[in-house]
Every structure is written in C-alpha cells, then in structure tokens.
Amino acid sequence: MDSPNIILVVFDTLRSNVWSVYGGDVETPYMRDFLRDSNIFPRPIAPSPWTAPSHMSFFTGFYPGEHGVHEDMEHGDGKVLEKIFEYDGENIISKLRNIGYTTIGYSANPWLSPGTGFDRYFNSFTFFSSEYMNMEEMNAVNEYKKYGKNRYQAAKNLLISGNFKEFCRYYKIHRRIIKRKREVGYPFIKGSDIIVDQIMNSSYEQPFFLFINLMEAHEPSAPWELDTDDRKIKYLDLAGKDIISEKRMNETREGYKRSLGILDRQFGRLVEYLKKMKIYENTMIIVTSDHGQALKEERKVPYYGHGNFLYDEIIEVPLIIKFHGNRKIDIKNGNQSLVNLPEQIISAVEGNFDDFMTSEYVFSESFGPVHDLETLVKEGVLPSDIDYVGMRNKILYPKKAVYWNKYKLTVNGLTGEIDEFKENGKDIDRNEKKDVVDHLREQIYIFKGKENFKV
C-alpha cells in the first residue's frame, strides 16, 4: 500500500463529555458511522487549557514546559508569538515534508494563521475568519478599536468628533459583516462550511498531510455574547463584578451543544468526499481537540471559558483515530496524552499500529493567567477598580495536573497546595489516599523540571 494520507481535524474548544460517543447527550450520527472504521480513546488529556501551547505540543511532541510556547505570570499570552518563532526544532510537519508529504493547513483560529509561526513547514496554509470577515474587514475592525471598545462606542465617538466620512465607512463595513453573519447562522457556525467547501474544491498531491482547525465550539456560543469581548465576560464574572446569570449560561450551554451538531455534519461531508474520491481507505484521520470549555460547573472557582484552569471539562477532550486500512488496534488501559500524536503518526506511517497515545503518567499545565489583565485595563476592556494582582495570585496562578490510572492531582504552583484530588472523576479525601497523593506529587516534581513551581 502507498504511504497513507493523514488528516488531523481539531474541533477547537470541544470537551469530550458532551458528545454521545463519550457518554454525553449530543448525538452525532456522522461520527457514529465513522466509528465503525475507527478507534476511540477513552480518556485523552490536552497538555494545555488553550490553543497555542496545545497545538505546539501536537506538532512537536513536547509538553508546553518543554517547547516553551506558553503564557506566563507577567505577560499572559503577550509573548507567545515571539516564543513560537524562537522555537527552531523539528515538528511533525517538517518530518512529513522530509519524507515526501505535501502539507496543507486550513484554520478558522487567528492563533493558527499565516504569520503566526504555526504555518512554518506547510506547503500552503489558509486562514478563514470564524467571523466571516475578509482581510479588509478584519483590518477595519482592528483600526476602529481606537475609537471605542465596541462597535457602538466607536460609532458614537466618531459622530461626536464630527468625523462623518470615517463614520460612514465604518457603518458600511460593519453592516456588511453583520448581514453576512446573520445569513450564515453565526455564532453557531463559524467557518467550517467554507473550509470543507475549499477542501472539496481542491486537489492535493499524494501523500498529503492535511491539518484542519474548526471553531464552531469556541465562544461566542449564544447571541447575548455578541458585541462583548469574551475576555471581559469571563474576568468580570471571576471577579464577582458582573456575574453571568443562569438564564444566560443556559443559553450558552445549549448553543455550545448545537455547535457539535454542526461540526458533525461538516465532518460527515468531508468523509463522504474522501470516499467519493476513493482515498478514504488509505487515509489516517485523527479527530481531537486542543482543549475543552468550562460552562460554570460547580467548582472551587466556577468558570466560563477555557485557559487559566485545569478542570476536567477544559482538558479532557476527544480522540478518535481511523488508521489507513481501517485497522482496529488494542488500546492500552490508562490515559492518553495528546503530546504523543507525532509519535503515533510517524509510527503508523512506518507500519507500526501499536497504541502510542496511552502513557502511564499524563500531564497538563498552566503557567498563569492567559491574558495580561493590566493590558486589558489599558485597552479599556476591563475596569480599573479590581484587584487584578490579587486575582492573579489567588485564582489565576500556575497549575499542573497529573493523571495516573484512575486518579488526578492538580497542584497550585505558587503555594504547593492541592487544588484537586480525584478518583474516577470524583473529589475524594486526600487523607484516605495519602500514599497516592505523595506518589503523584513526586511525579509532578519530576515533570516540572527546572521551572520555579512549588510542589
């Protein structure tokens, strides 16, 4: 058999436990059909609670603390793009290119777009805005942010200043954007239709590696979230200054589930296209997510969004792999680390179909707040009358989680205190399993390397 094609599909922001194939209540008929030819892994863990570090791990095979592309206490995500360019090692894309693969990327996530550094080693990489904006419109939206923190304030300030020419230009552009969003069904659909259409209207020299990031599960997930910066929503809620109502949160939960049905239909279109082109059989297809989404579950700190925390709903994600030849494999007992994706891919290309995803110890890590809160204050996104230093140290501190067998331990990196200790997903008394706690603390201590992290 010829070298297999490889497709890596990332359903951005998709937690596993809403999906019926993982025991949730959202049915996905196209994915159920796909499972007949595939292998579903029971407990995959994302290495990070947000996009950039996780994708870097998918490509390099290293944890964030090893490849260095992650947030920090001082800058949030402010230095992450620099860190991407500073990384000069090989990754799965360069390795596949070196053995003759055509490498193509499609993304609706701005973090994964041309110029970010993630597009290195791809023969081609195309970005489609999840908000259905072209480059002119995206540039205009960013340009008008200097007039106000949302479109209403920008328009108002332009009128007050007497700048009618700019106001008219601004109005026309935003009217065009809003009309297009309504026509396509935004915020429930966010570009997957365009990306799948593009793939179906293209041809690729084989063997190919195709990377796809789809944003339907990413916030905003309900109409009430539109025209409000999602960073403002989550941090004001965390600070207790503007708590999200249960009514609004329920709308968001329903919208989030709705997005999975849309992803399922688009994925079904992709699979049917591969079958029609007679390349499905010889294609390895990986379906996963870079992180999940918290929907204000009952936690130590209830939270909406992702990043900042290592809650199960944020780092437990799906993983389904169809090997070329539709091979079924023996999946080991334990947890799966998505850091192992490059090894699994290369091994399969070489004809080895062992389970390389499952590891004895699986980790996930956060290095502080994803955003620089002081910068958000300067930009007018957040008010100045909140103790952001206190929030950072008491809530948004560095964290590391380790999974082993049926246990999970999460540790506060500033104090060494235990955030979570779970058995089979349920909180348990750490004093009753002191030997397990000590064992997992030791694993985190070994894992942290030279980092200044208390255990």
- What are the pLDDT digits (tens) for 135-164? 777 777 777 777 776 676 777 788 888 888
pLDDT of residue 366: 98
Beta pairing partners, 366: 399
pLDDT of residue 158: 80
CA–centroid distance for 353 within its chain = 27
Whole-number CA gyration radius for the chain:
22
For residue 42, whether the previous peptide bond is cis, meaning omega lies within 30 degrees of 0, is: no
Confidence band, pLDDT 50/70/90 cuts, at residue 228: confident
- What are the pLDDT digits (tens) for 181-199? 887 889 999 999 999 999 9
CB 423 within 8 A of CB 412: no
pLDDT of residue 149: 66
For residue 187, whether the previous peptide bond is cis, meaning omega lies within 30 degrees of 0, is: yes
Query: Is the model's pLDDT at 451 over the cut of 80?
Result: yes
pLDDT of residue 141: 75
The stretch 28-49 carries a mean pLDDT of 97
Residue 455 neighbours by CB distance under 10 Å: 18
Which three-class secondary structure state does DSSP give residue 391?
helix
Query: Is the model's pLDDT at 376 over the cut of 80?
Result: yes
> What structural domains and CATH numbers belong to the chain?
5-131+186-360 (3.40.720.10)
Segments of 58-129 assigned E as strands: 102-107, 124-127
CA–centroid distance for 244 within its chain = 22
CB 54 within 8 A of CB 317: no
Q: Locate tokens 């796809």: which residue?
A: 212
Query: Whole-model pTM?
Result: 0.94
- What are the pLDDT digits (tens) for 382-419? 999 999 999 999 999 999 999 999 999 999 999 999 99
Angle of CA points 238, 242, 244, to nearest 5°: 80
Residue 132 vs residue 399, higher pLDDT: 399
The stretch 273-285 carries a mean pLDDT of 97
Mean per-residue pLDDT over the chain, rounded? 94
Question: Considering Cα of 319, then 324, then 328, then 330, what sign does the dihedral take?
Answer: negative
Segments of 99-203 assigned E as strands: 102-107, 124-127
pLDDT of residue 185: 85
Confidence band, pLDDT 50/70/90 cuts, at residue 1: low
CB 51 within 8 A of CB 358: no
Segments of 248-337 assigned E as strands: 283-288, 294-295, 304-305, 319-322, 335-337
DSSP 19: B
